Structure 1
Amino acid sequence: MSNHPFVPLRHREVRLLWGAAVVSDVGTWVQLIVVGSLVAAGTGSAIQTGLVALATFMPQGIASPVGGLLADRYDRRKVFAIALMAQALVTTVLAVVLGMGVRTPAVLTLLILLGSAAGATGAPSYAAMQPDLVPADELMAMVSLGVYSWNSGRIIGPLLGSVLVLSVGPAWTIGFNAFSFVVMAAAVSLVRRPFRPHDGAEGAGGSVRERLVDGWRTLRATPGCWHGVVLLVLFNLTVVPFMGLIPIYVRAEYGGGTGLTGAVASAQGVGAILGGVLITVLAARHRRSFLVGRLVWALSLALGVYALAPNKAWLIAGGALLGAASASMFISSSAIIQRDAPPASRGRVVSIMQAAMGVSYGIGLLFIGSIADATNLHLAFGVGSVLLLVGFGALTLRSRNWRVAIDGAEVLPADRVPHDVLSVACGD
């Protein structure tokens, strides 16, 4: 395995797509922070603010499986480009609505939901393209590049969003995000070669239901993929909700506004990039199960620091620590899934991963947000920190083969796949 974190950039296609992804991710974070801050200022509710972030990620639960079907039947490059243009169209409508003075949370959330659904439809195609863009030993570094672009957006987006809102207003600020999707679509169109699923691949035919079931069975029969999904679900239920609650946490507990919100989000982004570089280097030296076990403890500690931050400086530091640990966990788990997913059904397997992440994030966001509205956000994040350790402890106690699966297990024969979902998740 190559331990250089930027080695995939030696490929022209990767450079092209990654550069455009940085622009697109900056636009996404501009929108998330600006609209989240508008809703937080107008409602003062953790639930209402969380729904804005939820609308950004929750569509994965429905749209990603559809995208997975498309990714395993059609040219993945074209599917991704069409989805990007659909996102650009919906985001343009959002900009126009804001320009008309509409600030109703339900309207803004609905438009974000529609745009995110378009994005979630194209995401499995992009993820399924990645193993074909680089050699196998560069795959983890390739996954890390996605984290770098997303978190570059997290660093630049909130700061740029704050400047743009003050300079040109929220409507034109969201218009920048619409333009960023066009930039990404243009980059995809410049990748000339097709990315078609393997001809004659098992599961390529049949009804929609049959193909979805085939993808699910493939995921269940592949221990590395299944354990990777279980880890991501646990992570999204307990830790990731803090991201969507940054605007209300800053406002309610520290008396801050868009500026402090941007500072915390940017610190998280810096930490995520550093964490991504570090985990890519460490993965060449340590077994994946060794790293995952320590990442769980690091995540719990970082979330505890964030929850108990006594002042703004500690809050920003906690955000940076959370960013580093969160990015490392996402990269590790995602790379396990992409490593072990069979090429013919990779789109569907990845789409199930993304759907599971979206649904679990939504549940976690509502759960943590409800605790926060009933008590306070300090306690809510503390609960998440404890539940992460409890959940991982339950997994390791129940599972006999989790280390083998995470480090690289063979696919089980179909007749040996257990019927009980929990027993499969635990490798029995």
Structure 2
Amino acid sequence: MTARRLSSLPSFRAFGHRDFVAVWSGALVSNIGAWMEVVALGVYVTAVTGKAEWTGGIAALTYLPSVVLSPLGGAIADRFDRRIFIALCALAQAVLAGTLATLAFTGHLSVLAVAVISFFNGCVHVLSMPAYTALIAGLVPSEDLHSAMSLTSTQFNLGRILGPMLAAPLLAVGGVGWVLAFNAVTFFAVLWAVMTVRPQARPASTIPSRGLWADIAEGVRVSRRDSALWLAMVAMFTMAALITPFISLVPVFALKVFGQDATAASVLVSMQGVGALLASVMVGSLAERWGRQRLLDTTLLVLGPAAALYWLSPTLPLAMAAILVLGAVYMVAIAGLSTRCQERAPRGMAARVSGLGAVLLNVGYSLGVWMQGALADRLGVRPVTATAAVLFLVVVVGLRAQRPREVGVPET
């Protein structure tokens, strides 16, 4: 089915816009390579160290730079051509991935090298994400924004399916070096995509600029004053800290709990992507039938139990089924919260609001994945992760009891 025919369906309306399709396609190729690298490095670190804390810690290094750089990236993206900014970031990430590949091919790859380069890769990634989110929001009209955000999550999760599927045989035949080299090449798909997009006229902000850091501070103040926007960000932070670590801890679950190998880790990651893909097909119709608020409120309530079900699965086949459900619910939640943030962002401040959301998301994830990994080494993987899932449910219920209509996505 072509993009034009797909665009007639509620969930795929954004595919009716040529520039969106170009950026979506380029990002998909890059994400396939990125997920190949995630699996390869996760298996490498877990096998070399035998510690969940190391696996979670290195994953945290990729996202921890967002404390400073996401707001900075948002402020920069609101000032300059987002296409050029994203292209420069893609080139930098290609160089970093190529460096890892070179170290692997020459026999000099180490956990320390992985940690250092993951940190620098995280710096570039968090700088570019506000610009990418704002670019996507500018490629479609407001009525297709939810479709665009959902399809962006779909693209991310398609990479999560295809990346591990390609990583497993490539790891078996060529080793870590070939996976890392493949990832380096895929960044050029992003370069092609953003350079084919027509330049966007930067919208004039209704809030005058007073300098880079003042712009960042203004973005925080505006977000805090909008209670619906701020509560969406709080929900995003809590989800990142308590639920999202399941993504990076898949190799730990496969290798340490089930005693399996890289193939099992790849299958679990792929099953999560399948669940997210299935959800993306249905989310548009569900939002139209139930309403965005009800859909997101329900999703947030179900997310904790779905995560607990996954972590407590007694066998690998049951874990595969559970992570498929978890992947679907998680995709709907993150797409709904992201849409809420972009809908509430004032004119000319979309990237700054996206940057602040990225700070909360990435800091929460960095702290959560490291702490859950460290505690899992001492108390066990299942007790720690399942407790975090139950705690998330308690937090969501508490937020709903306090302001039930602002936790989800109000109708627009």
Q: Which TM-score applies when normalising by structure 2? A: 0.94
Structure 1 residue 176, shift from structure 2 partner? 0.9
| 1:271 corresponds to | 275
Structure 1 residue 207, shift from structure 2 partner? 2.5
Q: 1-side partners of 2:208 and 2:169: how far apart? A: 48
CA contact (8 A) 1:73 1:196 kept: no
CA contact (8 A) 1:237 1:360 kept: yes
Q: 1-side partners of 2:208 and 2:171: how far apart? A: 47
Structure 1 residue 240, shift from structure 2 partner? 0.5
Q: 2-side partners of 1:100 and 1:322: how far apart? A: 39
| 1:406 corresponds to | 409
| 1:244 corresponds to | 248
| 1:148 corresponds to | 154
CA deviations over 1:207-236 (Å, ceiling 9, x no partner): 222111111111112233212211111111
Specify which of 92, 98, 106 is matched with residue 100 of structure 1: 106
Q: Which amino acid aligns with 1:198?
A: P
CA deviations over 1:61-111 (Å, ceiling 9, x no partner): 332111101111111111111111111111111111122223421211110
Q: Which amino acid aligns with 1:281?
A: S
Structure 1 residue 300, shift from structure 2 partner? 1.7
Specify which of 194, 201, 216 is matched with residue 199 of structure 2: 194
Q: 1-side partners of 2:9 and 2:294: how far apart? A: 17
Q: 2-side partners of 1:278 and 1:381: how far apart? A: 28
Q: Please give the residue correspondences for 1:103-118 in structure 2 after superposition, counting only pairs within 5 Å.
A: 103-118=109-124
Kindly indicate whether residue 383 of structure 2 is the aligned counterpart of residue 370 of structure 1.
no
Structure 1 residue 408, shift from structure 2 partner? 5.0
Kindly indicate whether residue 255 of structure 2 is the aligned counterpart of residue 255 of structure 1.
no
Kindly indicate whether residue 303 of structure 2 is the aligned counterpart of residue 284 of structure 1.
no
Specify which of 5, 8, 19 is matched with residue 11 of structure 2: 5
Q: 2-side partners of 1:82 and 1:202: how far apart? A: 28
Q: Which amino acid aligns with 1:89?
A: V
CA contact (8 A) 2:82 2:132 kept: yes
Where 2:314 maps in the other structure, the secondary structure is coil
Q: 1-side partners of 2:320 and 2:405: how far apart? A: 38
| 1:413 corresponds to | none
Specify which of 330, 333, 340 is matched with residue 337 of structure 2: 333
CA deviations over 1:105-145 (Å, ceiling 9, x no partner): 12111102212211211111111112221121111110111
Moved more, 223-232 or 21-30: 223-232
Q: 1-side partners of 2:64 and 2:36: how far apart? A: 19
Where 1:407 maps in the other structure, the secondary structure is coil
Q: 2-side partners of 1:204 and 1:270: how far apart? A: 44
| 2:165 corresponds to | 159
CA deviations over 1:6-43 (Å, ceiling 9, x no partner): 22112111111111111100000000110110010011
| 1:386 corresponds to | 390
| 1:420 corresponds to | none
| 2:316 corresponds to | 312
| 1:182 corresponds to | 188
CA contact (8 A) 1:85 1:181 kept: yes
| 2:94 corresponds to | 88
| 1:294 corresponds to | 298
Q: 2-side partners of 1:196 and 1:211: how far apart? A: 19
Specify which of 72, 76, 95 is matched with residue 66 of structure 1: 72
Specify which of 231, 234, 248 is matched with residue 227 of structure 1: 231
CA contact (8 A) 1:247 1:261 kept: yes
In structure 2, stretches of 5+ residues that fail to align are 1-7
Q: 2-side partners of 1:359 and 1:111: how far apart? A: 18
Structure 1 residue 308, shift from structure 2 partner? 1.4
**Structure 1 residues 186, 232: closer, same or farther in 2, change over 3 A?**
same
Moved more, 344-353 or 55-64: 55-64
Structure 1 residue 285, shift from structure 2 partner? 1.9
**Structure 1 residues 196, 223: closer, same or farther in 2, change over 3 A?**
farther
Counting aligned pairs with the same residue, the percent is 28
| 2:42 corresponds to | 36
Kindly indicate whether residue 325 of structure 2 is the aligned counterpart of residue 321 of structure 1.
yes
Aligned length: 406
Q: 1-side partners of 2:369 and 2:274: how far apart? A: 23
CA contact (8 A) 2:69 2:126 kept: yes
Structure 1 residue 401, shift from structure 2 partner? 5.0
CA contact (8 A) 2:301 2:396 kept: no
Structure 1 residue 335, shift from structure 2 partner? 0.6
Structure 1 residue 196, shift from structure 2 partner? 4.1
Where 2:392 maps in the other structure, the secondary structure is helix
Q: Which amino acid aligns with 1:406?
A: V
Q: Please give the residue correspondences for 1:338-357 in structure 2 after superposition, counting only pairs within 5 Å.
A: 338-357=342-361
Q: Which amino acid aligns with 1:119?
A: H
Q: 2-side partners of 1:105 and 1:196: how far apart? A: 44
Q: Which amino acid aligns with 1:262?
A: S
CA contact (8 A) 2:293 2:411 kept: no
Q: Which amino acid aligns with 1:197?
A: R
Q: 1-side partners of 2:402 and 2:239: how far apart? A: 18
CA contact (8 A) 2:305 2:390 kept: no
Specify which of 132, 135, 159 is matched with residue 138 of structure 2: 132
Structure 1 residue 287, shift from structure 2 partner? 2.8
Q: 1-side partners of 2:384 and 2:249: how far apart? A: 11
CA contact (8 A) 1:73 1:204 kept: no
| 2:362 corresponds to | 358
Q: Which TM-score applies when normalising by structure 1? A: 0.91
